Amino acid sequence: LLVVSESEEYKNSIEKILQPLKGNRRRDWFSSHAYLCLPLVIG
């Protein structure tokens, strides 16, 4: 997995960028209707 951040704040902090989905499947910033799109859900 390659993570590229434009912000220097997150340069060496992958754990601040990536979050596990276990127990936290929904994201506030992700559009609710987009969860119905299978390719986006599979990732």
Interval 11-23: pLDDT, tens: 777 777 777 777 7
Q: What is the pLDDT of residues 27-37, one digit of tens each?
A: 777 777 776 77
- Residue ranges per structural domain of the chain: 8-42
Residues 17 and 5: beta-carbon distance below 8 Å: yes
Q: Is the pTM of this model over 0.85?
A: no
The continuous run of DSSP H or E covering 33 comes out as none
Q: Nearest to residue 43, comparing CAs of 29, 28, 25, 23?
A: 25
Phi, psi (degrees; rounded to nearest 5) at 33: -70, -20
